Each structure stands twice: as C-alpha cells, then as structure tokens.
Structure 1
Amino acid sequence: MTDFPVIGVVGLQASGKTEVAKRMMQLGASRVRMGDVVWNEVKNRGLKVSEEKVAEVANELREKEGPAAIAKHCIPLIKEKGKESKAVIVDGIRSDSEVEVFKNAFGENFSLISVEAAENTRYNRVESRGREDDIGDWEAFRAKDEQELGWGMGEAMEMSDFKIINEGSLEDLWDKATEVFEEITGRKIED
C-alpha cells in the first residue's frame, strides 16, 4: 500500500483524460501515462510509433502477460513517482482487469475517474489535435473505440468512483477535475 492517493483516469479516446491529468498535475500530482509504457516498448523494438504499432504491441503484451500486463508494468513507476508528489495520476486505463490490479496494489488509496464525452465530440477533437497515434477517419475511430471496449474499458468506466462529463469548455473540465482532486486528496485548492 501507499501513503499517497493514486488516481486512475479511464475513458475512450479524446474524452479528455489527458486534460484531467494535466490539471491534476498543476495541482501537485505527478503522472504515469500507461500509453508511455507501450510507446517505449514500440521504440525499444525499433518501430515507428503509430496507432497500428501501438495497438499491436499492446495486444502482444496482453497476450504474453495477461490482460493487465501494462498496469503491472506501471506499479513500480507509480511507487517511484509517489515519493515526490502529493498524488499520482494514472492516465490511460483500458480495462477492468487493470483497475483490479491497481485496487489490489494500492487499496483504499486508489480512486478511479471516468471521463466521458459523446462520440461526435470526441471524433471532432481527434480530427483537430493531430497526435501521431491518432486515427485518420471515422471508420478507424469507431474501430478503435470497439477495440478498447473489447479490452474491458466499458466495464472499467462502470467501476469508477467519480464521473466527469466533458462536453463543455476546457475551463469547465478543469473546474470539474479540481473538484474531484480536492475530494480525493482532502485538500482545498486555492486559486
């Protein structure tokens, strides 16, 4: 167990997970991005980071080490980050089995936030942000959603302790993230 809060963030692509994590980092948390574990593995294999390669390597890790493989690789990173901050955000949870790994590792110090937005809202965000691992068209966007839901993301979202609906402005999202952070950490944030 840990003596610091571990805050998991789950949600479909472009729901606002990373923005919630960024806000909480501004409030004193550090972050472990689960995707970085996979990105690093892709790069270590000498491959170019792309949606296809990231998904391929993530699936391979899960096949070899079980559905919660990436979460297991994150636990030492979370413990290390916790030495230097007030809380650790785990960005990018993809399945209920990953949630279970974190609950077992961190007990009552683990909280889960589901960040949610409508499909069209999320697709418009993907089109405008231009990340190197983003999909390129509507069919690929829907296929990625289906893949992530197939990993157990819907079940993970249902396990959340907090739900943030992200259909408004970035400022609105940050306000909601601040409220949840205050509740989890028991600290009032003064702006």
Structure 2
Amino acid sequence: MFNLILFGPPGSGKGTQSDRLVEKYGLVHLSTGNLLRSEIAEKTPLGIEAKNFIDKGQLVPDEVVIGMIDNSLEQHRDAKGFLFDGFPRTANQAKALDKLLELKRTTIHNVLALEVSEEELVKRLLERGKTSGRSDDTDEAVIRNRFSVYQNETAPVADHYKAQHKFKAIPGEGSVEEISAALSEQIDKTLDRQQQEAFE
C-alpha cells in the first residue's frame, strides 16, 4: 500500500494534480471535505455529530474527522493506497493519522507540497474568481489572508513529516504536465524503494 499526502495553498493546482495522481497510481482520493459531506448526507452517527458542530459554526473535532477517515480506510481495504487531500492540517492531526495508520499496519510514505509564490496565487485566484462564482476568490485581502492561514497551519505539519524524512516541496509553477512529472518522479522513487525492500 502506498499513502500520499498532497499539500498546497488555495489556487496551487492541488485539485488538478490530485485527480491525475489518483488516476495514474490507482489511489483512493480521501478529501476530508468530501468525507464530511457524504457522512452528513448519509446521516451516519459521525455525520450527525459533525453537523452539530458545523451548525454552531465550530470546527469539527479531530477525533470525528479521524473516525471518518478510519471508516473510509475500512471501506477500501483492498485499495492500492490513499491520497490524503486537505488533511492533516495540524501537527496533532498528523500524529493522530500516524497512529491510525499504524493500527492498519501502514504509514504515510510521501508528503508532497506544491509551492507557489503568494503573488502567483493571488493572480491565479483573482482570475479564477471571474468564473468560479466564489466570493472568496474575488477579494485580494481575503486571498492573502487564506494564504497566511495556510502557511501558519501547515508549517508544523511539514515539520512533523520532515522529521520523518517524508516531506518534499515541489515547485507548483509551470505547466500542469511539468508539475505532474515532478510529483510522479518523487512517488516513483518511493515505490521503487518499497519494491526493493519487499525483495530484500
């Protein structure tokens, strides 16, 4: 099994690259946003609990999110691996995820972060805002705030995985193909290493 975390600030092209990687490597795409929406729609116990927090304008607690991820891992036991998107967002979530995966006798193999300059992101999101219909894509101050929140939140997560030698920053500027190739190169290295270890 191969597990990947893909990071990137809003507008970094993470959605596009996630879709490509999921298709290329046969991974299950685990987006916590989608998981939350589907658990709420299906009115599962976790979904009902999550909705209570959301309705009060509160963040869904880590243990609820981890519970949903656990459910998803159980549903896809035969998966080749998982691509985690939008999670973990904090060092505590990263530790909780490590523990959960340990119980499943697996681990995170690669943490790849798409790095894009703030100016480029502002430009991309303002451009996207013309057609996306998302109000948070049309206000430069809001975009810059989202970027700084992302930097502050995810820096500790990056440090957590750097300590495990799993973190790699990938330039997120260039053509979609160039970025895909850079991501694939890192993944292929890890997969090759896994195969070698399996034969040893």
- The partner residue of 1:104 within 82, 91, 99 is 99
Summarize the alignment of residues 23-172 of structure 1 with structure 2, pairs less than 5 Å apart: 23-27=20-24, 28-40=26-38, 60-62=58-60, 65-66=61-62, 69-83=64-78, 85-93=79-87, 94-107=89-102, 109-111=107-109, 112-129=111-128, 130-131=131-132, 135=136, 136-150=138-152, 152-160=153-161, 161=166, 162-172=168-178
Task: Give, in whole Å, the separation in 2 of the partners of 1:169 and 1:81.
Answer: 32
1:74 to 1:131, Cα distance in 2 relative to 1, 3 A: farther
Task: Give, in whole Å, the separation in 1 of the partners of 2:9 and 2:57.
Answer: 17
Task: Give, in whole Å, the separation in 2 of the partners of 1:164 and 1:71.
Answer: 27
Deviation at 1:75, TM superposition (A): 2.6
Task: Give, in whole Å, the separation in 1 of the partners of 2:37 and 2:56.
Answer: 9
Aligned residue pairs total 170
> Are the aligned partners of 1:6 and 1:106 in contact in 2 as well (CA < 8 Å)?
no
- Residue-by-residue CA offset, 1:11-38 (whole Å, 9 max, x unaligned): 2212232233222112121211122134
Any unmatched runs of 5+ in structure 2? Answer: 44-53, 196-200
Larger Rg: 2
> Are the aligned partners of 2:32 and 2:85 in contact in 1 as well (CA < 8 Å)?
yes
Task: Give, in whole Å, the separation in 2 of the partners of 1:59 and 1:149.
Answer: 23
1:39 to 1:20, Cα distance in 2 relative to 1, 3 A: same
Deviation at 1:175, TM superposition (A): 0.1
In structure 1, the residue matched to 2:10 is: 13
Task: Give, in whole Å, the separation in 2 of the partners of 1:61 and 1:30.
Answer: 25
> Are the aligned partners of 1:23 and 1:178 in contact in 2 as well (CA < 8 Å)?
no
Relative to the length of structure 2, the TM-score reads 0.69
In structure 2, the residue matched to 1:183 is: 189
Task: Give, in whole Å, the separation in 1 of the partners of 2:122 and 2:176.
Answer: 16
Q: Which has the higher contact order (CA 8 A, sep 6+)?
A: 1
Q: Which has the larger helix fraction?
A: 2
Alpha-carbon RMSD across the aligned residues, in angstroms, is 3.1
Secondary structure of the residue aligned to 1:61 is coil
Task: Give, in whole Å, the separation in 2 of the partners of 1:169 and 1:33.
Answer: 24
> Are the aligned partners of 1:114 and 1:164 in contact in 2 as well (CA < 8 Å)?
yes
> Are the aligned partners of 2:126 and 2:140 in contact in 1 as well (CA < 8 Å)?
no
